[in-house]
Chains A and B, each alone.
Chain A
């Protein structure tokens, strides 16, 4: 199954996103984003797997704002 990294503007939103996904049965883990994934250095994200469309829908319905969602590179799938 495809793995994705969702980037959030803060660790609070990252935790909120992770809670939404976990409650919906998506295995999710809080991670620190690679510098290449952020525009201005340091950020938090959630590594998860599932349908990108459904992930987006879940977060949108829960009102949890995220800044980006992208497929995880091989070395990011820890």
Chain B
């Protein structure tokens, strides 16, 4: 395959770090039995490894009870579990305008069950203003605040610690979608007063596709299960046994995927999140500089401010005058640069960004990108604009 530049890590990080590939390969070769089912050495080894990684990941996210970490198929499944399993008729939910459809669509479906959603603005506001917008919407009917920690369109980092404080003050539950932030920005459930943390494993956690996590803080309401099935215990009972986490993990869990997540978390720990952010910033800064100074290109970013991450963005969007985002992405692909175009499954944000007519071109970076990648992109985008619409 020709060398390529991959700037689509917000969709899925690719390729995975070698340590992740080696760990998955070792799992498939050495201990990938069915965990929690058979009692032979391979089955027990598999169960032990799954438990160790559950503990490792719980600690990674500041969750004191590893059994409250549920392995899911992806972030969407995790978010559905919380939203559909916790909210009831009459509940009101506050969501940011940067939310993904993995939050907005379940909430839309819940409307028919009497759950109301209200959106708080983010775009163009600094953190203090965002917090003020949330505060003024807080009523006793608000049961939950949802925050997309990092926007998958602009890279905006929401001040989740402060939002957690507001939720506590008003006795509301706090759900954080950490799909774009996990592995890049620190998340500590206890310190940030997060009740539910849902995230994808295949993005900046460097796990495989088909992995996601739902973490539930001690004391937060346990959702109602969405699915039932075998889980290796009390097989003669037709009722799904209660108890965390197996109550929410019917069927065989994705052992190679879980192993990939454990290895990904280990890689992040070794690299350090600060090191990862520095690497990302070096790439994004160069791209922002060129995009911001090229005639006919309009950046669609949203400045990060008081939360200490000013100048760092793992995701950025732009549009090119006279060219659809699809055409720009196709041109970049022809030149071996992989990016995403369109609406990025985030329908509300485009009104504020004024990109409803076609969405944006999105660049997203990871620890594996280099400044050289950014230079290749910059040369290519300059050649596109210089050639007059490619």
Contact = CB atoms under 8 A, between A and B. Distances in A.
A30 B47 contact: yes
Nearest to A32: B39
Q: Name the 3 nearest CB pairs between A and B, nearest first.
A: A32-B39, A15-B51, A11-B36
Interface of B: 35-36, 38-39, 44, 47-48, 51, 54-55, 65-67, 231-237, 241, 243-246
A11 B39 contact: no
A28 B67 CA distance: 20
13 contacts: A9-B241, A10-B36, A11-B246, A12-B51, A15-B48, A16-B66, A30-B47, A32-B38, A39-B234, A42-B232, A42-B235, A42-B236, A44-B232
Contact of A10 (B38, B231, B236, B237): B231
Contacts of A42: 232-236
A13 B236 CA distance: 20
Contact of A40 (B55, B231, B234): B234
A59 to B, nearest CB: 14
B67 A13 contact: yes
A17 B51 CA distance: 11
Q: Interface on chain B toward A: helix, strand, loop, or mixed SS?
A: loop
Nearest to A12: B67
Contacts of B35: 11
A3 interface: no
Contact of A15 (B47, B65, B234, B244): B47
Given A11-B47, A32-B38, 15 more contacts: A10-B36, A10-B246, A11-B36, A11-B51, A11-B233, A11-B246, A12-B51, A13-B243, A19-B51, A30-B47, A32-B39, A40-B236, A41-B236, A42-B233, A44-B36
Given A15-B51, A30-B47, A10 B243 contact: yes
B243 A30 contact: no
Contacts of A40: 234-237
B34 to A, nearest CB: 11
Contacts of B235: 40-42
A19 B47 CA distance: 13
B232 A11 contact: yes
Contacts of A10: 36, 231-233, 241, 243, 245-246
Interface in A1-28: 9-13, 15-16, 19
B245 A12 contact: yes
A10 B232 CA distance: 8
Contacts of A43: 233-234
Nearest to B246: A10
Nearest to B231: A10
Contact of A41 (B39, B48, B65, B237): B237
B44 to A, nearest CB: 5
Nearest to A11: B36
A31 B39 contact: yes
B236 A30 contact: no
Residue of A11, A38, A39 contacting most chain B CB atoms (<10 Å): A11
Nearest to B245: A12
A78 B67 CA distance: 28
Nearest to A29: B44
A41 B238 CA distance: 11
Contacts of B39: 30-32
Contact of A30 (B48, B65, B237): B48
Contacts of B245: 10, 12
Contacts of B55: 19
B48 A44 contact: no
Nearest to A63: B65
A31 B47 CA distance: 11
A57 to B, nearest CB: 20
